Structure 1
Amino acid sequence: MTGFPPDPGRAVSQDPDTPHDTDPAGGWGSLKGVARVAGETGVSAVAARILGSLNKPGGVMCSSCAWAKPAKPNTFEFCENGAKATLWELDRNRADAAFFARHSVTELRDWHDHDLEKSGRLTEPLRYDPGLDRYAPVSWDTAFAEIGRELRGMSPERAVFYASGHAGLEASYLYALFARAMGHQNLPQSSNMCHETTSVNLETFIGTPVGTCTLDDFETCDTIFFFGQNTGSNSPRFLHVLKAAVQRGCRIVTFNPVRERGLIEFADPQSPGQMTLGKPTRISEKYYQLRPGGDIAVIAGLMKCVLEAEDAAPGTVLDHAFIAAETTGFAETEKTVRATLWPEIERHSGLTEAMIREAAEIYLSADRAIGIYGMGMTQHVNGWLNLGMLCNLLLMRGNIGKPGAGISPVRGHSNVQGQRTVGIGEKSKHMPADKLRALFGIEPPSRDGLNAVHACEGILDGRVEALVSLGGNLVRALPDRVRMEAAWPNLRLTVHVATKLNRSHLVPGQVSYILPCLGRTDRDLQASGPQAVSMEDTFSHIYGSLGRAEPPSEDVRSELAIVAGMAKATLRENPRLDWDGWTANYDRVRDLIAQTFPDDFADFNTRLMQPGGFYRGNPARDRTWKTESGKAQFTAPTTLSALGEAPEGDDVMTLITLRSNDQFNTTIYGFSDRLRGLSGGREIVMINRRELVRLGLSEGQKVALETAIADGVTRRVEGFAVTPYDLPDGCIAGYYPELNPLVPLGYHEKNSQTPAYKGTPVRIVV
């Protein structure tokens, strides 16, 4: 495949009998998807008002993806997934005391994940009664007292405080403070399962744990190279930016094993012309289906082409002044890339030399290039080198630290980046100890804590006794889920702060609580009046959010109030830890954040509702490299594959886990994967027809999948229907989280321990 055929909606090699979608991303399909969820949850006038204010100054900031909120928003500044997330939270159904009286935990375990959340909003604090096998209502005072007693009764390092990306900066800051005041830094976060590869490795390469771009860069860039990112499902508002970029002449190239509709073409739902008689906008000029893990090889090929162009016209292609003044390691990297042979590049990438040269010509034609990536690059054993190679490609021509250029991971959860910024993380550097001593008179722990993988290892071997979850559905999101779910009941204490029922709540520890919290859309009224919360987007901009809906019951509390209540019940009295005062007025918490992180949050309260958010800055954007050498780091490739050392055998396939168009992380809104032309059950295994024939399989056949890693543990899922799909040879795909049991806990990116969800070796068993 060498780019777009006359019909840009299809691949040249697309088998017409293979399921696929010919409609563009956006368009009428997007509106129908929103309408379906609106009908299921019950649309109200309040819901309509909230959607109208979504992602606008003074409105509600979407709880879905982390895409930017522009200072001059569109009439409707939300996408299909953002609307679904908002309506899902505003569900009129209630999982109240009567619901839990009717249904035992054992019964609920047989429900589908979609149906669990569809039971509605939680309305009162609940305690698990093992004798009745039911959750029963309990008072907040009783819940806090018992949780505090349990936490005080164990060594601090035996407790783990997990956070999803939902909670605002204010609750997140207090959560991180609570853990350190208690005496531990066991603060795993949802980024441990997705973009921790970024947080750890970008810091090594360019001295920052986040991307260097801002929204303005997309107005002046000449080319955008995408690697392993599915914009159409994961951050659809990005499509408006891409449409504008293409229309002014920006050239977009995509590398992804799966042809994702959002990066092929887009029909703007806010454009009457495109929604009626107009044609959709072609997004990617070139789209290459590389093999899973083939990004390193592709980028090595692109780098070879850049070096060849420099050889042909010395001094005109590489940014020699930038390389000499701002970087280190170029000579070794250049030598290694030059010595890399094209046959090896082709073998590992699955692309031809001609395809890679074609893409390189586009890169070479651009003065300002942006490199975009998603979890297709981070969730690999050698994800660190994926990022190192992308940095290499950009650094060669000075494309980091200048307007219209840079490296840009696209975060998939609204405040996952911001939570790390204000201290949720297992390392001491995530929350400065000197500030904690000065502000609160506490002596924070100096030893690093546990990330998600290490916490799971502690649950398996009994070192961890308590798991407190600030949002999320951790049991369902983890790798090695069968082993983890079996070990979970051995925990002494499990606490879940949540808006809706999910699978993790049905695996209670010996003492287990569900504490219902306000959602982003709910009005948060405290002693000093209505409260706003804040979050950070993927471009390091901070926004205030003000909920407007009536809470699901009077007995639901804010995430901040719940964190403060648990902390007050757990910790020794300290007049400088004013949990009640902070709950009464969130401005005081923002003042603390500004004092703790003055470079990022100066005048926090003053700037809270600034249109377009306020930028907390990025040193690499200013070419200040906070690396060990003080310069940006070139990285010589040590392998051409991001995959680990997979076992040999013609029957070994590389598994890619995917999210459907009808889900957000572990939340399943429905069973239509519209943008891939699939619908119905989620227990499917996608495979191309060539491989289907080679392996002697038939369409619709039910098979089992087994992990091909020999570590003494058998990992197997059964009853998955073989589904023909347009994929490269040697790989299969299926849905997350249904296929998580196949990913070993120890099979992860080597520096960050991010699970290798995009590159696990498996076998199909008939």
Structure 2
Amino acid sequence: MAEQRDDKPEIKPFKGPAGGWGSVRSLAEILPREGGSPEVLRELARQNKPEGFACVSCAWPKPANHHPAEFCEEGAKATAWELTSHRTTPEFFARHTLTELRGWSDYELEEHGRLTHPLRYDPTTDRYAAISWQTAFAEIGAALRPLDPKSVVFYASGRASLEASYMYGLMARMYGNQNLPDSSNMCHESTSVGLKAAIGVPVGTTRHSDFERCDAILIFGHNVGSNAPRMLHDLRACRKRGVEVITFNPLRERGLERFTDPQNPIEMATLRETRMSSQYHQVKAGGDLAAMMGIAKFLVEWHDAALAAGKPEVLDTAFIDEHTHGFDAFVAAVRAADWDAIARESGLTLSAIEAAARVYAKAKAVMAVYGMGLTQHVKGVENVRMLVNLLLLRGNIGRAGAGPTPVRGHSNVQGQRTVGITEKTELVPVERIEAQYGFSAPREKGLDTVGACRGVLDGSVKAFVALGGNFLRAVPETGPMEAAWPRLDLSVQIATKLNRNHLFAGKQTYLLPCLGRIEQDVQATGPQAVSVEDSTSCIHGSRGKATPASPHLLSEPAIVAALAKACLPDPALAPWDDWVADYARIRDAIERTYPEMFAKYNERLFTPGGFWKGNKASQRIWQTPSGKAEFLAPTGLCATGFGDTDGRFRLMTLRSNDQFNTTVYGYHDRFRGVKGTRDVLFMNAGDMAARGLRAGQVVALESDAEDGAHRRRDGLIVTPYAIPSGCLGAYYPEANVLMPVEHFAEESHVPAAKSVPVRIVV
């Protein structure tokens, strides 16, 4: 197993496009490193195909008319990572204590391979040791039953299937709480809150086919080349037919600049590239609010001038009058906005904003694609609401080729919320669940990610059960959270590989290895299929066929069912064993709970391209208190939630193209020209000169939050990059140590990881 970190890392500008031969070389490198199993190549041919399996990484749609290779570089890495031939057995833990393993990197821990046996932590030896499944479930149940239900957290990673997620949420409510934080809490909850308030649904309104119908695309805060590379094919097709793509993003990201299609022989042979963005505007971190306000102000001024001159209107007043509420207050705020403040807060010239506004004013169908560059700010919900405002001004919701298009991360993070993984009663049909299963469900709002962190830190959370994920590594306040974790009475981690969260044990700790989605899952009625929901609200079946990594693994539904039977006061209220025997019965239960979205669920499971669960806002049916789409004027023009002071920078945490969320595949970030390290601080060259810093100099960052706490990240290599003045970039999750738990988006509680106040220490 080769460690890719280099004592002498190489950092130099990358000149190639996204995709191209670089993607091919990256795939050729990871396959042999993971053991070169022939099954990997066979499964790659099935990835994101009808009757195949849904990629375990991102949630981009699986098209009905698929490519021969319907996977991207990141998806191929995820598949090779899951089907690795490396194993982490009980013998490994006999050789290594948890204290020793804390010195390993994230890469080394997961690269060691798949977990093979259920394990229990032994505090006397500081090691995990194998345990039988029966004993593990009995002991976990005995630990959970006496606890106050409010003190227990049931966390869910966004990779878990709809079937497992439904069972998991039901188990938590039967246990007595809605403490169901999940990956959405860390990334797109600002979307769920903002869109729900504005248009009545918590998800985007567009479908994959809208890329064929739009004539302009606005992209805010999303690095497509690393975070959803299959989307590059859709953007490329749009650009080939003349669609304007206007990008707002602080960093110059290669996937938003140039792309060579690895599946196009002519492009590969001739090194031909597609220019991906017709305009590229580098807003300051947190400056999107001001940029969008500037576009809106241009539109309003042009509309006023057009009316005065008797020319066609710029705003869609017929749509606004019929379908919206709050327009007058919003347009008053737009007219009052100061142009100098818009330029200052956005970091853009007014001519740049005007150029984007002219494209938007001319276009007839506009999609607004965005990622965590909008959601992970203190004013993240206002960012989402402002994006909706912009779309409403010209009727760009409920029209073919138009609408908000949030790009989700984990492959089923949106679907989990659909089937009940939520701390909010209003998002769950509680009365229907109660009638279906005969119990009184909790109404009290449960703990989200921030609430769970607070509870771990103050000791009110006594037990933490995790359906996947790497919670301790993904959340803010890394040091204090790791220090507090051993105070838990119980920690239960369902996982496929070892990660850093598993190295911090509670008083009782269990590590339960599960089947991966790509592996064959055989139950009493034969091989099973599961399902996931993509970013466009389409449901896809997924069937694993690979040989399981170990005969001792259980599926996620089997583990959840066993936990439910062990910890619930009346486990007979749900047919847990019948569900495990036949997952189609779980889908029948989901259909009874959510009949509007999951009608004929089993019948439609493997529909090519997925089946759509429906979306009222896309039909211009607004499920809001007013019955109309809501305009909302922002409270300011900066989304960071803190002011600029001398020496304070806005830090953005970033993913490399060699990772997916907390999983690090290697130490190369090809698109940013980084090789052999993750200890990098991306910085504006002018800011470097002003502070006397040189490329390659090693510095530290310290938190500049106004809470008096000391947070520090050492050993960062200063690297000049195309990034706005006053902004910095560093890799997630390593930079999480600098972020306070209390630095989160208002209303949604999403950690504000795209604008963290820091200072540079030499």
TM-score under structure 1 length normalisation: 0.97
Provide the rounded CA distance (Å) in 2 between the counterparts of 1:431 and 1:586: 22
State the Cα distance separating 1:312 from its structure 2 match: 2.7
Residue aligning to 2:3? none
Query: 1:90-119, CA deviations, whole angstroms, 9 ceiling, x for partnerless residues?
Result: 010110111111111111111111010011
Residue aligning to 2:273? 280
Correspondence 1:530 to 2:527? yes
Provide the rounded CA distance (Å) in 2 between the counterparts of 1:111 and 1:655: 26
Correspondence 1:374 to 2:367? no
Residue aligning to 2:720? 724
Q: For residues 442-457 of structure 1, what are the structure 2 equivalents within 5 Å?
A: 442-457=439-454
Provide the rounded CA distance (Å) in 1 between the counterparts of 2:666 and 2:205: 35
Correspondence 1:666 to 2:666? no
Q: For residues 584-603 of structure 1, what are the structure 2 equivalents within 5 Å?
A: 584-603=581-600
Q: For residues 317-466 of structure 1, what are the structure 2 equivalents within 5 Å?
A: 317-466=314-463
Query: 1:670-700, CA deviations, whole angstroms, 9 ceiling, x for partnerless residues?
Result: 0110011111211111111111111122222
Q: For residues 150-161 of structure 1, what are the structure 2 equivalents within 5 Å?
A: 150-161=143-154
State the Cα distance separating 1:301 from its structure 2 match: 0.8
Query: 5+ residue gaps in structure 1?
Result: 1-16
The 8 Å contact of residues 424 and 430 in structure 1, kept in 2 or not, is answered as: no
- Report the AA paired with residue 342 of structure 2: I
604-613 vs 273-282, greater mean Cα deviation: 273-282
Query: 1:229-257, CA deviations, whole angstroms, 9 ceiling, x for partnerless residues?
Result: 00000000001011111111111000000
Provide the rounded CA distance (Å) in 1 between the counterparts of 2:730 and 2:452: 26
- Report the AA paired with residue 294 of structure 1: G
Query: 1:387-435, CA deviations, whole angstroms, 9 ceiling, x for partnerless residues?
Result: 1111111100000011010001000110000000000010112332212
The 8 Å contact of residues 323 and 395 in structure 1, kept in 2 or not, is answered as: yes
Provide the rounded CA distance (Å) in 1 between the counterparts of 2:296 and 2:74: 36
582-591 vs 675-684, greater mean Cα deviation: 675-684
SS of 1:757 mapped into structure 2: coil
Residue aligning to 1:6? none
Provide the rounded CA distance (Å) in 1 between the counterparts of 2:532 and 2:664: 24
Q: For residues 640-719 of structure 1, what are the structure 2 equivalents within 5 Å?
A: 640-646=637-643, 648-719=644-715
Provide the rounded CA distance (Å) in 1 between the counterparts of 2:443 and 2:382: 30
State the Cα distance separating 1:65 from its structure 2 match: 0.4
Correspondence 1:81 to 2:74? yes
Correspondence 1:232 to 2:225? yes
Provide the rounded CA distance (Å) in 2 between the counterparts of 1:45 and 1:130: 40
225-234 vs 692-701, greater mean Cα deviation: 692-701
Q: For residues 85-96 of structure 1, what are the structure 2 equivalents within 5 Å?
A: 85-96=78-89
447-456 vs 709-718, greater mean Cα deviation: 709-718
Provide the rounded CA distance (Å) in 1 between the counterparts of 2:387 and 2:662: 29
Provide the rounded CA distance (Å) in 2 between the counterparts of 1:739 and 1:747: 14
Provide the rounded CA distance (Å) in 2 between the counterparts of 1:251 and 1:588: 46
Provide the rounded CA distance (Å) in 1 between the counterparts of 2:589 and 2:757: 47
693-702 vs 597-606, greater mean Cα deviation: 693-702
Provide the rounded CA distance (Å) in 2 between the counterparts of 1:426 and 1:657: 26
State the Cα distance separating 1:724 from its structure 2 match: 1.3
State the Cα distance separating 1:277 from its structure 2 match: 1.0
Query: 1:616-659, CA deviations, whole angstroms, 9 ceiling, x for partnerless residues?
Result: 0111100111112111011112200001123x532101101100
* Cα pair distance change 1:35/1:18, threshold 3 Å: closer
Residue aligning to 2:168? 175
Residue aligning to 2:6? none
The 8 Å contact of residues 538 and 613 in structure 2, kept in 1 or not, is answered as: yes
State the Cα distance separating 1:726 from its structure 2 match: 1.4
SS of 1:291 mapped into structure 2: coil
The 8 Å contact of residues 18 and 726 in structure 1, kept in 2 or not, is answered as: no
Provide the rounded CA distance (Å) in 2 between the counterparts of 1:536 and 1:429: 20
The 8 Å contact of residues 680 and 717 in structure 2, kept in 1 or not, is answered as: yes
Correspondence 1:626 to 2:623? yes
Residue aligning to 1:557? 554
Correspondence 1:29 to 2:22? yes
Give 2:289's match in structure 1, choosing from 283, 296, 299.
Answer: 296
Q: Which runs of 4+ in 1 moved over 3 A?
A: 573-576
The 8 Å contact of residues 439 and 576 in structure 1, kept in 2 or not, is answered as: no
Residue aligning to 1:184? 177
Identity of aligned residues (%): 54
- Report the AA paired with residue 517 of structure 1: C
Provide the rounded CA distance (Å) in 1 between the counterparts of 2:11 and 2:291: 27
State the Cα distance separating 1:224 from its structure 2 match: 0.1
Give 1:128's match in structure 2, choosing from 115, 121, 125.
Answer: 121
The 8 Å contact of residues 19 and 725 in structure 1, kept in 2 or not, is answered as: no
State the Cα distance separating 1:572 from its structure 2 match: 2.6
SS of 1:719 mapped into structure 2: strand
Aligned length: 749
SS of 1:601 mapped into structure 2: coil
- Report the AA paired with residue 128 of structure 1: Y
- Report the AA paired with residue 247 of structure 2: T
Provide the rounded CA distance (Å) in 2 between the counterparts of 1:349 and 1:18: 29
SS of 1:385 mapped into structure 2: helix
SS of 1:318 mapped into structure 2: coil
Query: 5+ residue gaps in structure 2?
Result: 1-9
Query: 1:683-731, CA deviations, whole angstroms, 9 ceiling, x for partnerless residues?
Result: 1111111111111222222211111112131111111111111111011
Query: 1:532-586, CA deviations, whole angstroms, 9 ceiling, x for partnerless residues?
Result: 0000000000000000111111110000100001110111344331111111110
- Report the AA paired with residue 245 of structure 2: I
SS of 2:603 mapped into structure 1: helix
Q: For residues 460-479 of structure 1, what are the structure 2 equivalents within 5 Å?
A: 460-479=457-476
383-392 vs 749-758, greater mean Cα deviation: 383-392
Q: CA RMSD for the aligned pairs?
A: 1.1
- Report the AA paired with residue 250 of structure 1: V
The 8 Å contact of residues 37 and 84 in structure 2, kept in 1 or not, is answered as: no
Residue aligning to 1:56? 49
TM-score under structure 2 length normalisation: 0.97
Query: 1:199-238, CA deviations, whole angstroms, 9 ceiling, x for partnerless residues?
Result: 1111001111000100011101010000000000000000
Residue aligning to 1:500? 497
Give 1:739's match in structure 2, choosing from 723, 727, 735.
Answer: 735
Query: 1:267-322, CA deviations, whole angstroms, 9 ceiling, x for partnerless residues?
Result: 00000011011521111001011111110110111011111221232252111111
The 8 Å contact of residues 656 and 758 in structure 1, kept in 2 or not, is answered as: yes
Provide the rounded CA distance (Å) in 2 between the counterparts of 1:455 and 1:47: 37
Provide the rounded CA distance (Å) in 2 between the counterparts of 1:453 and 1:363: 37
Provide the rounded CA distance (Å) in 2 between the counterparts of 1:559 and 1:700: 46
Provide the rounded CA distance (Å) in 1 between the counterparts of 2:592 and 2:292: 42
State the Cα distance separating 1:18 from its structure 2 match: 8.8
The 8 Å contact of residues 565 and 571 in structure 2, kept in 1 or not, is answered as: no
Query: 1:365-389, CA deviations, whole angstroms, 9 ceiling, x for partnerless residues?
Result: 2000111110000000011111111
- Report the AA paired with residue 337 of structure 2: T
Provide the rounded CA distance (Å) in 2 between the counterparts of 1:726 and 1:546: 43
